[in-house]
Amino acid sequence: MVMTERIERVTFEALGPMSLDEIIDVRAPEEYAIDHITGALNLPVLQDEERVRVGTLHRQLGPFDARKTGAGLVSANISRHFETHFHAKEKSYRPVIYCWRGGQRSRSLATVLGEVGWRPVVLEGGYKAYRRHVIETIGTAPSFRWVVLNGLTGAGKTLVLRAIAARGGQVLDLEGLANHKGSLFGGDLENPQPSQKRFESRIRDVMVTFERERVVFVEAESPKIGHVNIPAPLWHTMRDAPVTEIDASVEARAAYLCGDYASWIGDPERILETLQRLAPFHGAARIEQWTALCREQRWRPLIESLLTEHYDKRYGAAGSGHYHAPQRTYALESHDDAVIGACAEWLLASSEDIRQ
């Protein structure tokens, strides 16, 4: 930690032990939306269109004209933040500030805060340093002990993961972090998927809580969940991990999916549109059969047919796909809380001894 121009700088790794009031991301809203340090507040010193304007001036007229214009824009934005966010802060207030590289945008706000009498800290290297930390953290995946829960679509793997987490087990819920159930019907209209970088930051946030001496449970996934990719170090580690199969009858799976996909069932037109995306894999007669079931709102027969004729034939759990054959299987009679809970407790009690 060094002092430069009366501004204290600190590395991301050193932030943990420090007593800081909040994290401020001064980048433009578009940059912040793509990814940011979890918990950071966005107080941009340049708005999206202003950042573009300054960058254009830098390319066309040079750095002096860009800085001259940028200084006025930055000053106006900081003034607004003082009238709102900083107005009620106490004298002891101490934030950490970051921008893209920990350069001019961070210094601009930190300098003004320092002149007031606060003691701001600038993140050395800015977001880029944090991003390196995210990549490095995910790269430690092979050092953990993983157990992959595999099984046919609708078997209840996600329910079991959540029950394990509720009982104190270590869980990486990739579908939850990706806001996607991992199938053509898996999108959530109310909660859109994060960007790739934001997805990776969410993974990082969970992984830093893991203890290496304890097993981590994760659901078997394809390398892509919706439009985000599982980072390569984690994906390869999952593929090499021991597998436990969660099994359930097609009737039980269909009953569970009817509830889990309730938002889809309330939007038949969305289902009809999605069914057309299965046309490359099935004949016209099969697509027409599913279309008719959808129009008649016969959801259980539709889901059972989709399971047996599409998903079960493409996403098996017997080691023929991306993952190893399961070392053991747990059969769920239903997806009731008590049944799911018993499965979770069995996994927690027995997985410490599973062959790695």
Edge to edge, the sheet with strand 2-4 lists 2-4, 7-10, 121-123, 95-98, 22-25, 41-42
Give the active site residue among 99, 258, 294, 343.
99
Using CA atoms, how far residue 134 sits from 2, 35, 171, in Å, is 24, 11, 18
Q: Phi/psi at 217 (nearest 5 deg)?
A: -100, 140
Instruction: For residue 351, give both structure tokens.
Output: 């997985």
Can you list the pairs that 313-317 forms with residues at least 24 positions away whose Cβ atoms lie under 8 Å? 314/281, 315/152, 315/153, 316/152, 317/150, 317/151, 317/152, 317/155, 317/220, 317/243, 317/245, 317/247
Which of 356, 333, 355, 330 is closest to 344 using CA atoms?
A: 330
Instruction: For residue 276, give both structure tokens.
Output: 């057309």
Query: Is 343 known to be catalytic?
Result: no
Crossing angle of the two packed helices 63-83 and 104-116, in degrees rounded to 10: 40
Query: Helix count (H) and strand count (E) of the chain?
Result: 16, 13
Q: Point out the residues that are catalytic.
A: 99
